[in-house]
Structure 1
Amino acid sequence: MSKFNPRKVAVLGAGVMGAQIAAHLVNVKVPVVLFDLPAKEGPKSGIALKAIENLKKLKPAPLGVAEHASRIQPANYEEHLELLKDCDLIIEAIAERMDWKLDLYSKIAPFVAPGAIVASNTSGLSISKLAEALPESLKPRFCGIHFFNPPRYMYLVELIPTPTTEASVLDQLEAFVTSTVGKGVVRAKDTPNFIANRVGIAGMLATIHEAEKFGLSVDVVDDLTGKKMGRASSGTFRTADVVGLDTMAHVIKTLQDNLQADPFYPSYATPAVLSGLIAKGALGQKAGAGFYKKEGKNILRLDAATASYVPSGGKADTIVERILKKPAAERLKLLRESSNPQAQFVWAILRDSFHYVAVHLADIADSAREVDFAMRWGFGMKQGPFELWQEAGWQQVATWVKEDIDAGKALCNAPLPAWVFDGRTGVHTPEGSWSAAQGKYLPRSSLPVYARQHFPESVGGSGAVDPLKSGTELFKNEEVRVWTLDGEVVIASITAKLHLISPTVTDGLLKALEIAEAGYQGLVVWSPDDVFSAGANLESLMPVFMKLGAKGIAPEEKKLQDMMLRFRYASVPTIAAMRGLALGGGCELAVHCSQRVAAMESYVGLVEVGVGLLPGGGGLTYIARRAAEVGAAAPSLDPLAFLKDGFQAAAMATVATSALEARKIGYLLDSDVVVPNKDELLYVAISQAKALANAGYRAPAKLSFPVAGRNAKATITAQLVGMRDGGFISQHDFHIASLIADVVCGGDVDAGTLVTEEYLMALERKHFCGLLEHPKTQERIMGMLSTGKPVRN
């Protein structure tokens, strides 16, 4: 691993990108100083202060917890340049003006600490030209670093060296950005707009051109170029609105100013429709209008012919929708041969993308892998263009593209490079990915940081191993695979859809624990996608419920609760490796493990109220026990104070929108580990299991604990009456919340009464089964199963 671990980072520029980069750095515990110009009125650091305050209001939230905005130190260039001497990394993120950036570099140069790295977060300006303004001593430590917006959520970061950047500096920065900041790093060449924006904006321009050619409206294009094509759900025009049409125009201008010799240069012309919108100030979402405009609850779309807004809602034709679900080879063939204008449009934009990346591969990237990762991580594609081309049949697709070029249907007449037709079957192989510049296949980076990724994200055709077919299998049933990578720690992977917990999953997890306790150091529950577990599988219990009613569910519920306690009191450490959704039963499984190792983007909560139930797998028992544990540290305070947050979270079905917020709510503890990079989750979880085992792990003592009792329940119920009578919650919500209060307060007992987990779980089970018999709950369950959406009744 790299030893580069910045004590403090300076971000220069408190605009949209600078402030959000600073926010994400504090998310991952990196101290930050945020600089901007001195304010003309009020506090000299007022511009930075205002930007920091604004971070709390933005959606999607750039901060894992809004209060962490206070961890960003505001500064200005007039008073605080001395602070730079304490910073090991300086990220410049001011406006995209070469002259402004060069002027700033001359100001900061005397204050940059020896050994500090300086990086420019530019989206397309020449990094080498920027480096020219730096003193010779700084040039080896300068490079480009291009975060994508919004920085917290977008996985891609492009690193761009100059001819004078030291290789070790880039390696150190890549390790830091990968492991500490939690990003996927792609190294790009110093060409206009680098990789993702170069290919992505060229693709958006081609899409606008082809849409005009085939007479398609913006809403139809967005429906076609969104999830149906395995791309970001916002499609093309909605994405442009979110990015900002002025920002898009700026990136286009970079292409126009610097790529006159590019054979695709004519296609870089700013579309008339885009120019027209910008001239009117319709810059997209931030201006309230762009390609789309919201009026009340209605979303209108631009009608290019009349330059007016009309109702939106156009969709892809059914036949095209069906084609887009076909396997790649069949899909492309059907699109190309179809007479449907929408199908012809989709083939055209795919052909344009294949043509573009093949012609430019040698210039913009070290290999095809960087292009595909850049488009997946920066533009939300499930597959990069080279991956799709290869999957669909390399030589056949190449022939089709060539025929279209020869027929004058393509964006330009530049021929495909000779290497495309050298008999290859693709550009990605187990040996590596094709480098057009070097004429060979390049393997993935071997930097030590990547040893922390057992199963890194891979490109199609690279021969990457399937995690669920790896290691040594120890047990398997229909919905759980139990295996080990190293012969020391057991891994249990739930394979059911959304990793829902059914009786079969419960059996599999119990078997995994039995195996772990028989001869391993610990057990990790982990699955290789963005779901830990979305909850209990209600559908799997329907046959039992239909036959025996709630009394038939009670034994299954007790079995689930008993499993939770087995995980809590196991003789080996149990680790929940959480990523993405951990809802309902998934949350309950996590809180009963010895420790949680959570990816930053973990969404955790007890959400059973949405289907008319209360948490029945020990979640409420956990809340009551944690309240007692926390209250024991302050015995003079009202025990109800420690219950309030947990009760509200369960009663309101609150879902933490980050691992940091999950810690604030109480689903993660201070001793749990938050992992910035999702691909390091398994490595860290296994390491934690071993560390606990090597430290002589013993399960917690099984103790009785005090509950808040009937008076606390009455206090909560009185508040619920006010919410019900005020119309904030329904009668059934009131009923469910009252039962939740009954469990977390310990039932009809005096305050301070000692209870066991089994006692509270029996209360959970009683109320859970009672609710199953309630008609309103049955309405909610059936609504969720049939539509996937909660029913409010």
Structure 2
Amino acid sequence: MTIKSSHKNAGSIRRAAVIGSGVMGAGIAAHLANAGMRVVLLDVVPQALTAEEEKQGLTLADAKVRSRLASAAVARMGKAQPAQLYDPSWASRITPGNLSDHLSALGDVDWIVEAVVERLDIKRDVFALIESVRQPGTIVSTNTSGLSAASMAEGRSAEFRQHFAVTHFFNPPRYMKLVEIVPAADTAPEIVQLLSEVCERRLGKGVVIAKDTPNFIANRIGTFGMLVTLEETLRFGLTIEEADALTGPAMGRPKTATFRMLDLVGLDTLLHVVDNVRERSTDAVEQAAFARPALLERLVAAGRLGEKAGAGFYKKVKGKGGSVIESLQLETLEYGPKRSVSSPVIDASKAVKGAAEKVKALLHTEPKDRYAQFAWSTIKKTLLYSAAQVGVIADSIKDIDRAMRWGFNWELGPFELWDAIGLPGSVQQMQKEGEEVPAWVTAWIAGGHQSFYRVESNKRAYAASGAYKLEEQEPDTISLAALKASGKTVLSTAGASLIDIGDDVVCLEFHSQNNAIGGDILSAIRQSAKEVEQNWRGLVLANEGRNFCVGANLMLLLMEAQSGEWDEVEDIIRFFQSSMLELKRLDRPVVAAPHRMTLGGGVEACLPADQIIYSPETYFGLVETGVGLIPAGGGCKEAAAMAAERALVSGNGKHGADIQPYLNALFETIALAKTSTSGYEVGRLGLMRPQDRVIMRQEARIAEAKRAVLELDRAGYSAPAEGRIRVAGREGKAVLKVAVQAMRLSGHISGHDALIAGKLAHVLAGGDIRPGAEVSEQYLLDLECEAFLSLCGERKTQERMSHMLATGKPLRN
């Protein structure tokens, strides 16, 4: 089928409308605005006035009242936590309205997203309204977690149905990667392709194509897994704390595990999903698997719906010393103190890195242990169910794995997990225990295959129709894992690897614990600098870890400080500083591509780069003051240089321009340990330079950084010569210290905060020299090191460092 459409590519979708301003509708509208689209957000007209509206003398006829629901949703976006918008000012891209007065606006958009309540009759009514004003060629999609696409499209014209599909965003839409696209029978392939491109390239999402079956892919398998866990918890006589300890990170899944996740989802919501699968299924075995658990029914009947009701499997109880979490005692259905869980099996899982190794430790450390048996039983049943759904809910194991990783934040999808525990051996064990293994799995093993996935020609291949099939790799993505698996590692240390990413460009990947920078990473930086200068066109700094880098190795610094090994502490700082200078002076282009948490030393590793390509979800900040220190790996020096450069630009190249306003802003950012809530907000904090930029699609950041390296190389790159930095001097320092003193006198900061801020002011201003003096980079690095060392010797700083290591939270002392 070929259709006529004015939308040729993802870039042509510029105007959108979202119908429904609830949690999902508002979140989707915000993320469309994040992608640069102009959005109309419509909801129904309220049937009653609020008390505030009555007080203002408004009536139901007033425009302010009629569009209240959508207007309120837009107003909340700038204050929402977690933030819905990359930049709060982008709320101006969204125009609120109502379905009665502004329905005609749907005739002037490229894409209409319906996100009203999950009721088939209401959705059908909305689609009838849409069709009354929609222009031919306009794409219409519905955000539903499980209603039938075919049923929703009934009664609509053929042209409407050709342009209609499900786009199931996961909540919250900005942060959750998965979008399930579900075509109906008449959806044109071109529209499925266009929606996929829009979601992937414009919205930065991971798309899977699901079949029009109950609850699609992720919710179908995720719900089954929760039901199995509940059933096995009761069968093995475990507490909910024990079950959560085993089904969270120990299985490569989020900390919310199972019962905490159920509380977040809502127990009534889970029952609705369970009913949807059971009532639409024709398979007696599946109907039995999705029967309503009696325990859930009892809790819902008692109003214990989870977090939204204040109680579910866990309950927060307020006491004199603050709130405490109590847990449901399954024998009595009463709440009691939450109990800690430990065992050799769990300890073994915690002791190893990576989801695959954790699961193997969980299952094989003590296979006869009750915890190991519980873990095996829940995993086994989930794997078998997932295998039975291939061809039913999705065409490939790849889509099922991606849906679970992107939609439920599993580190390994079901088939990746199966490979991790050993495919042939685990299937043999399942059969020995009397389980029915899907025929295609046994046939796959009988064909001589040992795993569902393998690497071929730098790409991952997956099991499909009796043979491996290469995963389609987008031209703008690079997989470091696949490159390493195919032997592209150039050099490696315990904390970092240098990887050939093609076209004579290499990528330095951190892979230490939390990607914290220690001696191994600094050594790798120095080795890489020499290697790149001799043999390569340029260097990318990026990795595929959960976070880019959470900072320097704080434990090592604390140990040396507490031992009074000041020469050792100074050596660490000097080594860090000189390593960053090597990056900055490298006679080849360097481009950094950070993502997610990029803090402290992680920022200092990026700032020497010629360019930084930010992921939209980059939380970037020099946060050392939170542990009683100041940036000393070149962060203060780079901030001083930024202030001087901005003053020079503002003065049209005249060196007499005032540095102070730019220095004040950067001082506040660093002193208060501010962190961006997105890559775009780095600019608001003053840490983004003119050459730096943000790309919407996180998966493309490494390829984009490589492209930037090649462009710099083609332009005839030469390393920046060491220049002099103009500083604010003693007068600028005095201005900063006045602000610190005012904060101290007003009680906003402690005495130790003031001490730290004073030392930071001293370094950023260039010390006590004359205003406008030009100093060397090494001069500022020496000031950094001196201030850092003196703070390390402070008892209160050591207390802050210890507290951060123990709790992950800053201490205000």
Pairwise CA distance, 1:260: 4.2
Query: 1:620 offset after TM fit, Å?
Result: 1.5
- Name whichever of 158-167 and 754-763 sits farther off: 754-763
Structure 1 distance, partners of 2:740, 2:696, is 38
Residue matched to 2:92: 70
What does residue range 163-182 of structure 1 map to in structure 2 within 5 Å?
A: 163-182=185-204
Pick closer, same or farther for the CA change 1:327–1:21 going to 2, 3 Å.
closer
The residue aligned with 1:646 is 666
Moved more, 674-683 or 703-712: 703-712
Q: 1:467 aligns with which of 484, 490, 493?
A: 484
What's the CA shift for 1:575? 0.7
Say yes or no: does 1:675 pair with 2:707: no
Matched, 1:124 2:150: no
The change in CA–CA distance for 1:67 and 1:330 in structure 2 (over 3 A counts) is closer
Go from structure 1 to structure 2 and tell me whether the alpha carbon gap of 1:73 and 1:262 turns closer, same or farther (over 3 Å shift): farther
The alignment status of 1:309 with 2:335, answered yes or no, reads: yes
Residue 510 of structure 2: aligned partner:
494
* Residues 152-191 of structure 1, C-alpha deviations (whole Å, 9 max, x = no match): 2222211111222222222222222222212222111111
Q: Does 1:428 align with 2:453?
A: yes
Structure 1 contact 124–193 (Cα < 8 Å) conserved: yes
In structure 2, which of residues 375, 398, 404 is the aligned counterpart of residue 346 of structure 1?
A: 375
How many Å separate the matches in 1 of 2:791 and 2:476?
A: 46
1:21 aligns with 2:28: yes
Alignment of 1:452 with 2:476, yes or no, is yes
Q: Is the 8 A contact 2:616 2:695 kept in 1?
A: yes
Rate the CA distance shift 1:441–1:109 in 2: closer, same or farther, 3 A.
Answer: farther
Q: Is the partner of 1:453 in helix, strand or coil?
A: coil
Residue 144 of structure 2 aligns to a residue whose secondary structure is coil
Which of 686, 691, 701 is equivalent to 2:706? 686
Instruction: Name the structure 2 match of 1:607.
Output: 623
Cα distance between partner residues in 2 of 1:261 and 1:183: 33
The aligned residue for residue 665 of structure 1 is 685
Deviation, 1:499, is 3.6
Please say if residues 345 and 365 of structure 2, whose CA atoms lie closer than 8 Å, have aligned partners that are also in contact: no
User: Is the contact made by 1:368 and 1:428 (CA closer than 8 Å) also made in structure 2?
Assistant: no
8 Å CA contact 1:643–1:744 kept in 2: the answer is yes
Provide the rounded CA distance (Å) in 2 between the counterparts of 1:270 and 1:304: 17
Residue deviations 1:65-96 (CA, integer Å, cap 9, x gap):
33333332223222333333342222221111
Contact 2:14 2:36 in 1 (8 A): no
User: C-alpha separation between the residues in 2 aligned to 1:362 and 1:748?
Assistant: 72
Using the alignment, how far apart are the partners of 1:718 and 1:244 within structure 2?
A: 51
Relative distance call for 1:496 and 1:401 in structure 2 (3 A) is: closer
Task: Give the SS at the match of 2:41.
Answer: strand
TM-score, normalised on structure 1?
0.88
Deviation at 1:543, TM superposition (A): 9.2
Say if 1:549 and 1:773, in contact at 8 Å, map to a contact too.
no
Q: Is the 8 A contact 2:263 2:305 kept in 1?
A: yes
CA distance in 2, matches of 1:183, 1:133: 31
Match of 2:538 among 522, 529, 535: 522
* Equivalent in the alignment of 2:173: 151
Q: Secondary structure at the match of 1:656?
A: coil
Q: Is the 8 A contact 2:595 2:615 kept in 1?
A: yes
Q: What residue in structure 1 maps to residue 156 of structure 2? A: 134
Whole-Å Cα distance in 2 between the matches of residues 228 and 328 of structure 1?
Answer: 6
- Range with bigger deviation, 588-597 or 521-530: 521-530
SS, match of residue 156 in structure 2: coil
Distance verdict in 2 for CA 1:96–1:563, change over 3 Å: same
What is the aligned partner in structure 1 of residue 439 from structure 2?
418
Secondary structure of the structure 2 residue equivalent to 1:91: strand
Give the secondary structure class of the aligned counterpart of 2:475: helix
Question: Whole-Å Cα distance in 1 between the matches of residues 554 and 117 of structure 2?
Answer: 52
Contact 2:589 2:713 in 1 (8 A): yes
| Paired letter, 1:308 | E
Q: Is the 8 A contact 1:472 1:485 kept in 2?
A: no
Report if aligned partners of 2:241, 2:338 keep a CA contact under 8 Å in 1. Answer: yes
The Cα offsets for residues 321-345 of structure 1, whole Å up to 9 and x where unpaired, read as 547877756754677644x3x4443
Output the amino acid matched with 2:439. A
Q: What residue is the counterpart of 1:656 in the other structure?
A: 676
**Partner amino acid, structure 2, of 1:526:** A
Aligned ranges for residues 350-361 of structure 1 at < 5 Å? 350-361=379-390
CA distance in 1, matches of 2:431, 2:35: 48
- What letter matches 1:132 in structure 2? E
Give the CA deviation at 1:451: 1.7
1:378 aligned to 2:407?
yes
8 A contact 2:232–2:374 mirrored in 1: yes
The one-letter amino acid of 2:639's match is I
CA contact (8 A) 1:246 1:283 kept: yes
Over the matched positions of the two proteins, sequence identity in percent amounts to 36
Match of 2:766 in 1: 746
- Comparing 487-496 with 648-657, greater Cα deviation is found at 487-496
Mean Cα deviation higher: 548-557 or 531-540: 548-557
Tell me the CA shift for residue 126 of structure 1.
0.7
Give the corresponding residue for 1:3: 9
Where does residue 733 of structure 2 map in the other structure? Answer: 713
Does the alignment pair 1:485 with 2:506? Answer: no
CA 634–219 in structure 1, closer or farther in 2 if over 3 Å, else same? same
Moved more, 775-784 or 222-231: 775-784
Contact 2:252 2:358 in 1 (8 A): no
The whole-number CA distance in structure 1 between the counterparts of 2:572 and 2:602 is 16
Q: Is this contact kept in 2: 1:128–1:162, CA < 8 A? A: yes
Distance in 2 (CA, whole Å) between partners of 1:2 and 1:504 is 49
3-state SS of 1:443 partner: strand
2:593 corresponds in structure 1 to: 577
1:40-65 Cα distance to aligned partner (Å, 9 max, x none): 44343221111122233333322233
RMSD of aligned residue pairs (Cα, Å): 3.2
1:366 maps to 2:395: yes
Q: Are the equivalent residues in 2 in contact too, given 1:591–1:668 (CA < 8 A)? A: no
Shift of 1:520: 4.5
Query: Which residue identity does 1:87 align to in structure 2?
Result: V
Question: Which piece of structure 1 moves more, 238-247 or 75-84?
Answer: 75-84
Please tell me whether the aligned partners of residues 200 and 206 of structure 2 are also in contact (alpha carbons under 8 angstroms): yes
Q: Name the structure 2 match of 1:631.
A: 647
Q: Return 699-708 or 19-28, whichever deviates more.
A: 699-708
What displacement does 1:633 show? 4.9
Letter in 2 for 1:684: E
- CA distance 1:223–1:562, change in 2 (3 Å): closer
Could you tell me how far apart the structure 1 residues matched to 2:581 and 2:361 are?
51
Which deviations, in whole Å up to 9, do the C-alpha atoms of 1:561-591 show, x marking residues without a partner? Answer: 3443454455443211112332222201212
Which residue among 15, 19, 23 is the counterpart of 1:12?
Answer: 19
The answer (yes or no) to whether the contact 2:345–2:366 under 8 Å persists in 1 is no
Q: CA deviation at 1:202?
A: 1.5
Q: Secondary structure at the match of 1:529?
A: coil
Structure 1 counterpart of 2:25, which letter?
G
- Structure 1 position 299 matched with structure 2 position 325: yes
Does 1:199 pair with 2:221? Answer: yes
Structure 1 position 60 matched with structure 2 position 82:
yes
More moved, 685-694 vs 321-330: 321-330
Q: What is the deviation of 1:195?
A: 0.9
Kept in 2, the 8 Å contact 1:516–1:522? The answer is yes
Measured against aligned partners, the alpha-carbon deviations of 1:265-308 in whole angstroms (never above 9, x if no partner) come to: 12322223322333344332223222222122111223344443
Q: Which amino acid aligns with 2:335?
A: Y
Provide the rounded CA distance (Å) in 2 between the counterparts of 1:476 and 1:430. Answer: 20
Summarize the Cα distance change of 1:65–1:315 in structure 2 as closer, same or farther, 3 Å threshold. Answer: farther
Specify whether residues 707 and 96 from structure 1 end up closer, same or farther in structure 2 by C-alpha distance, changes over 3 A only.
same
Q: CA deviation at 1:639?
A: 4.5
